[in-house]
Amino acid sequence: MDILITLIPFLPLLGAAVNGLVGARLPERVVGWLGSGAVLVSFLLSLYLFAHLHGGAEPVRTTLYPFIAVDSFHVDFAFLVDPLSVWMMLIVTGVGLLIHVYSIGYMHGDAGFWRFFAYLNLFIFSMLLLVMGDNLVMLFFGWEGVGLCSYLLIGFWYDNRAYGKAARKAFVMNRIGDLGLLLGLFLIFAVFDSFAYADIFARLPVLRLDPAVLTAVGLLLFVGAVGKSAQIPLFTWLPDAMAGPTPVSALIHAATMVTAGIYLVARCHPLFSLAPTALEVVAFIGLLTSLVAGLIALRQNDIKKVLAYSTVSQLGLMFLALGMGAYAAAMFHVTTHAFFKALLFLGAGSVIHALGGEQDIRHMGGLRRALPVTYWTFLLATLAISGVPLLSGFFSKDEILANTFAGVGVGWWVLAALGGGLTALYMSRLLFVTFFGTFRGTEEQRADLHESPHVMTVPLIILAVLSVAGGLLNLPHLLHVPGAEWLAHFLSPSVGESRPAHLLSAQTEWLLMGAASLLALSAIAWAYWAYGVRQRVPQDEAQLSAVERVFASKFYFDEFYDWAIVRPVERLSQLLHYYADVWAIDGFVNGIGSAVQRIGTEFRRLQNGNIEYYLLGMVVGAVLLFLSLWL
Amino acid sequence: MLDVVKTVPIDYYLWLSCALFCIGVFGVLIRRNALVVLMCVELMLNAVNLLLAAFSTYLSDAQGQILVFFIMVVAAAEAAVGLGILVMIFRNTHTTDIYLLDKLRG
């Protein structure tokens, strides 16, 4: 058992090592299937562990070796396989596997093919460490690894300056969050004297901590989650992360990276449950992000940017669920979101692939005939994320909305439902503008339109099936079917049973469900009428109204950060450069040099080569010596 | 013989040797000819020799006179080496003026 658990993260690492070291000399086919094979085996092993746990086995803890042992400070390199982590492992390796296979087709012919697969495998390894770690140090290890890999992959085409900048931006924004996480870890160690989950949660009820301390811990951890999961105010890196190849976007947005924040909060739920203030902040930030990102997505014209903001807004909904204490609901949405968001990104990649790199939806249109598989799978994903009844997104979003209603009341529910409605609106706008109407690209692109190869479409079809059927994992209990709330039951040993939605009456729930579905369907209908029937094309920025321009400019977040932080820091750096560095430090060092030189110039006159002169000096010296002795 | 030496008071030896030494020092300092400078050095050595011999006699201690012989040997060797160098300098530069020999000027 231990060896199986150990293999799960280390196989992708091995794949990364082989591809990274000798991949350049291997043929593309070998590199691709080696990378995918490593993840496939990890996925199968995860499935085995899942079956093992599902059969009622206890969570397994495996210690490889003591990682750090200094006096009483003790951290093990240990893995914990419990329902929560095995579920995350399934998502990471399962969706990751499909993305790997897809990449074989998408990255075909790229000069950095082997590098790409090495990075992808390293990414999977980091993410697996993050979710499998038995303590917060292991989590932090994976957390940083994921950050590094995202940097490498976003800047994969590093000869493009803008992409390199986007990669750095992602890294720096993540570091800001990481600082919060790190401080949170320090505080946890100061309070609990251990980093292991088991120790922390066992000591939690015994210690009778000051609620303020718990709130501080919760908020600091949440700062880390905000950075990694792209919430306000640190979300601006995620849309820029679109610079990476499209499978990377799928990997970052669906299976790995951004779900790390959700996982962190869900994993530390005993802490958060005792810190209601922190949970309120989580919920508030989640809701706010969901709405703001939804509004921004309405007026984006880059196919990948729309999807990026959609991810931000869906993550907002997940944090809202976490804030309500509905951890299982959040994990459910993580799961369904992984399916349809991976599908959407891979579909978008297929479109971009077909159009030879075109990403602007204004230059697309009418693609449904040329790309039938992409169209149908994209359609299903759009319907799923919009919350059309019976598809996976409907159930997971409904769970969140019901919990919001039960947790804080109708006001928050309306806002959250609006966030869901916005999702339906911008996603169907994207769908209709891209696939309906007439083709608006160049003649060259029209002649070259082609459906992607099987290695790309098969993952799309698998993900489409999952997007449609994903709701079966966690059917609402009011349907009274066998297997209802299966996922929540499965996860309950890890994340507890807290589900405020159970307090609601059946009628209320039906009503909420109906209202949310109606909202989603009417949003889709409106988008169909505007973009499908009347074939409206998004306008240029100049023609937008003032409010729309605010959306299109992302609420001026980047401009604000530039003005409030980047520019002052740059100014300060310049001042420091001129005054502290050039003037003070360089002046001092160079001053010593030139002073020595000047003194030397004066003293060299003594060395005039004239023996008489030296002898005179000697005699005078001797006389003075005698005089001094005599006196 | 010793009595002859002692007929002159010790003060006189002191003054004489002091005078000789000073003549040597000033000679070294102000003369330009390297040969004269060497001779002045010998003068200083012999001023000291004179004093050593005088004190040795007055104190009835032979050690001073032994030291005199050593100094004379060393002085002879030094003169030989010094004159040799001087000859080479003259052959190379056609001068013995030490004011002109300032190649080591910094």
A605–B99 CB contact, under 8 Å: no
Q: What pLDDT is recorded for position A258?
A: 87
Residue ranges of chain A whose pLDDT lies below 70 = 498-502, 541
Closest by Cα among A378, A351, A363 to A439: A363
Q: What pLDDT is recorded for position A499?
A: 64
Residues A150-195 pLDDT 10s: 999 999 998 889 899 999 999 998 999 999 999 999 999 999 988 9
Q: Which residues in A lie closer than 8 A to residue B28 (C-beta atoms)?
A: 612, 615
Q: What pLDDT is recorded for position A338?
A: 92
A605–B25 CB contact, under 8 Å: no
A606–B98 CB contact, under 8 Å: no
- Asked if residue A119 lies in contact with residue A23, where contact means CB atoms within 8 angstroms, the answer is no
Predicted TM-score (pTM) of the model is 0.81
- Of A605, A606, A615, which has the smallest distance from its Cβ to B29's Cβ? A615
Q: Which residues in B lie closer than 8 A to residue A616 (C-beta atoms)?
A: 29
Work out the minimum CA distance from B67 to partner chain A, whole angstroms.
23
Q: What pLDDT is recorded for position A179?
A: 93
- Asked if residue A519 lies in contact with residue A425, where contact means CB atoms within 8 angstroms, the answer is no
- Asked if residue A89 lies in contact with residue A75, where contact means CB atoms within 8 angstroms, the answer is no
Residues A70-111 pLDDT 10s: 888 888 999 999 999 999 999 999 999 999 999 998 888 888
- Asked if residue A108 lies in contact with residue A29, where contact means CB atoms within 8 angstroms, the answer is no
Work out the minimum CA distance from B3 to partner chain A, whole angstroms.
33
Q: What residue type is assigned to position A271 of the chain?
A: L
List the single residue in A with minimal CA-CA distance to B37: A612
Backbone angles phi, psi at B100, to 5 degrees: -85, -15
Q: In A, what residues contact B, Cβ < 8 A?
A: 604-612, 615-616, 619
Q: What pLDDT is recorded for position A442?
A: 83
B98–A604 CB contact, under 8 Å: no
Question: CA dist A401 to A178, A408, A471, Å?
Answer: 30, 11, 15
A612–B98 CB contact, under 8 Å: yes
B105–A608 CB contact, under 8 Å: yes
Q: Which residues in A lie closer than 8 A to residue B101 (C-beta atoms)?
A: 609, 611
Q: What pLDDT is recorded for position A579?
A: 92
Work out the minimum CA distance from B20 to partner chain A, whole angstroms.
16
Work out the minimum CA distance from B59 to partner chain A, whole angstroms.
24
**Four-point Cα dihedral A402, A407, A410, A415, nearest 10:** -80
A610–B99 CB contact, under 8 Å: yes
- Of B25, B30, B104, which has the smallest distance from its Cβ to A609's Cβ? B104
Structure tokens at A595: 């002073």
| Average pLDDT for B34-63 | 92
CA angle A573, A578, A583 (to 5 degrees): 135
Q: What pLDDT is recorded for position A129?
A: 93
Q: Which residues in A lie closer than 8 A to residue B99 (C-beta atoms)?
A: 610, 612
CA A356/CA A249 separation, integer angstroms: 18
B104–A616 CB contact, under 8 Å: no
B106–A605 CB contact, under 8 Å: yes
- Residue written as tokens 């000859």? B87
The contacts of residue A148 (CB under 8 Å, 6+ apart) are A126, A171
Q: Which residues in B lie closer than 8 A to residue A606 (C-beta atoms)?
A: 106
Q: Which residues in A lie closer than 8 A to residue B86 (C-beta atoms)?
A: none
ipTM for the complex shown: 0.79
A612–B29 CB contact, under 8 Å: yes
- Asked if residue A338 lies in contact with residue A384, where contact means CB atoms within 8 angstroms, the answer is no
CA A50/CA A32 separation, integer angstroms: 27
Work out the minimum CA distance from A593 to partner chain B, whole angstroms.
20
Q: What pLDDT is recorded for position A501?
A: 65
List the single residue in A with minimal CA-CA distance to B100: A610
B98–A610 CB contact, under 8 Å: yes
DSSP string, A216-267: HHHHHHHHHHHHHTT-TTSTTHHHHGGGS-HHHHHIIIIISTTHHHHHHHHH
Work out the minimum CA distance from A619 to partner chain B, whole angstroms.
8
- Asked if residue A368 lies in contact with residue A435, where contact means CB atoms within 8 angstroms, the answer is yes
Chain A interface test: which of B21, B28, B38, B93 (most A C-beta within 10 Å)? B28
Work out the minimum CA distance from B27 to partner chain A, whole angstroms.
10
- Of A604, A611, A616, which has the smallest distance from its Cβ to B106's Cβ? A604
The residue extents of the domains of chain B are: 2-104
B105–A610 CB contact, under 8 Å: yes
A75 bridge partner residues: A68
| Average pLDDT for B75-88 | 93
Closest by Cα among A436, A393, A425, A445 to A527: A425
Work out the minimum CA distance from B35 to partner chain A, whole angstroms.
14
A611–B101 CB contact, under 8 Å: yes
Radius of gyration in angstroms for the set of CA atoms belonging to chain A, rounded to a whole number: 30
Structure tokens at A395: 């159930």
- Asked if residue A356 lies in contact with residue A370, where contact means CB atoms within 8 angstroms, the answer is no
In this prediction, what percent of chain A has a pLDDT beyond 90?
50
Backbone angles phi, psi at B15, to 5 degrees: -65, -45
CA A335/CA A259 separation, integer angstroms: 10
Chain A interface test: which of B18, B21, B22, B29 (most A C-beta within 10 Å)? B29
In this prediction, what percent of chain B has a pLDDT beyond 70?
97
Cis peptide before A233 (omega within 30 of 0): yes
List the single residue in A with minimal CA-CA distance to B24: A619
A619–B29 CB contact, under 8 Å: yes
B101–A609 CB contact, under 8 Å: yes
Interface contacts (A, B; CB < 8 Å): 31
Q: What pLDDT is recorded for position B45?
A: 94
Helical H segments across A366-504, by residue range: 372-386, 392-408, 410-435, 443-448, 454-469, 486-495
Closest by Cα among A124, A73, A71 to A97: A124
Structure tokens at A179: 């600082």
Strands (E), A129-188: none
CA A199/CA A201 separation, integer angstroms: 6
Chain B interface test: which of A610, A619, A623, A626 (most B C-beta within 10 Å)? A610
- B43: pLDDT strictly greater than 90: yes
Let me know how many helices (H) and strands (E) chain B has, helices first: 4, 0
* Max Cα-Cα span within chain A: 119
CA A86, chain centre distance (Å): 19
Q: How many CB atoms lie within 10 A of CB A21?
A: 11
* Max Cα-Cα span within chain B: 56
Q: In B, what residues contact A, Cβ < 8 A?
A: 25, 28-30, 98-99, 101-106
CA A52/CA A60 separation, integer angstroms: 10
B29–A606 CB contact, under 8 Å: no
CA A290/CA A318 separation, integer angstroms: 9
- Of B30, B98, B106, which has the smallest distance from its Cβ to A611's Cβ? B98
Length of chain A: 631
CATH architecture of the domain covering B2-104: Orthogonal Bundle (1.10)
DSSP string, A389-424: TTSHHHHHHHHHHHHHHHHH-HHHHHHHHHHHHHHH
Q: Which residues in B lie closer than 8 A to residue A605 (C-beta atoms)?
A: 106
CA A268/CA A282 separation, integer angstroms: 13
Work out the minimum CA distance from A602 to partner chain B, whole angstroms.
11
Residues A217-235 pLDDT 10s: 999 999 999 999 989 888 8
Instruction: Give kind and range of the element (H or E) at residue A65.
Output: strand A60-70
Torsion sign, CA atoms A250, A256, A257, A261 = positive
Torsion sign, CA atoms A603, A605, A609, A615 = negative
Q: What pLDDT is recorded for position A289?
A: 94
A611–B25 CB contact, under 8 Å: no
